[in-house]
Amino acid sequence: MSGKGRIPALVVVLALLLLPLAGGASAASGPGVELSASQAGAGGSLTVSGSGWRPHTLLMVLVCGRATPARGVIGGTNSCANADGRAVTTDAKGGFSRRVPVAEPPVPCPCVVHVATVTGAKANADAALKVAGHPVEPLPAESFGGRLLLLSDTRLSGSSGLLTWFGAPPSRTLVFTVGNAGPGDIKNPVFKVGTAHGVFAPEWDDQQWRGTLAPGGKARIELPVELAAGAHGDYTVSVKYGGKVLAEQPWGVGHPWGVTLFWLLLCLVVPAALFRVGMAVVDRIRPRRASGGRRGPRRAPPTLRLPGSRTPQAPPAPDSTLPWFTPDSAPGAAGRLSAPHDDSPTSPTTPT
């Protein structure tokens, strides 16, 4: 094969080798956000479009101040116009398009349109926006101290005991590993641990980890998590540091069936006890019979019979005839079919 024929073959081979790499690079680029206009006034609206998100995922679109796409939202959602936010769900390809109002954030610009996932794994993206008429201030200087990074997935350790089955507060320990990627030390960092039930906003609790994390070092963090008494259902435990959510962990809490069993037993035992008490009261207040009242017939005492003796014969029962008739003179007796006649003896003759 000539040199000229080898060049097209090499081009085809290189194209086939680079095609998967290009596809992987585009997939690894992550979610993106685009705006229909880079500048808008407060009270107006613009269209926010996105691609590269997870399919069928609920997103929240906010206008935030004191933020840039490079540094993100420095103050967290406290720097955003939360009341004018809009929710949108991605399609089967991970894209979306939503018309959102332009509102003034509670802090000065530079501003961005911040898009973040509401459920599932955390993902976010920002697009720069100029809000006309809103004050602009320079961002605070970036700190050159320690920078905390999450190095491992979070997990909840521990188990529920017998008391939890009867309504005691469920408790777990949130375990994860962090590392210091900054040039300075991190001393006694304060984490925010939040618990959210369903789609409700989490309730945050400050918990401090005692210790110093040197640059390049890592540490295993264990933070206690406790819910309210009788809590059950699907919960989400989140950990936040420096205004940024590091990780989230789902927690399915079982139903306290012991409480249900207690109420069922209470509904059965209390009526039974009341019935017994009522019967005792009725038995006490019921009038008693007089001592000289009519008594039933007494039974004859059993007779003793010796071996070889005969059982005495009972006397014959009297005939059931009328008291003024004898057996011989009773009406309808045998031999009395003729007319009545005189049976008296012949009277003696009177002497003449």
| Sequence-separated (6 or more) residues with CB below 8 Å from residue 266 | none
Cβ atoms of residues 65 and 54 within 8 Å: no
Q: Supply the DSSP string of 42-54, one letter for each residue.
A: TT-EEEEEEESPP
Instruction: Tokens for 291, please give them.
Output: 């001592």
pLDDT tens sequence across 155-169 = 999 887 788 888 888
pTM flag (> 0.75):
no
pLDDT tens sequence across 63-91 = 999 999 988 888 788 899 999 999 999 99
For residue 47, name the pLDDT band (cuts at 50, 70, 90). Answer: very high
- CA–CA separation, 139 vs 121, rounded Å? 29
For residue 17, name the pLDDT band (cuts at 50, 70, 90). Answer: very low
∠ Cα 173 177 182 (to 5°): 140
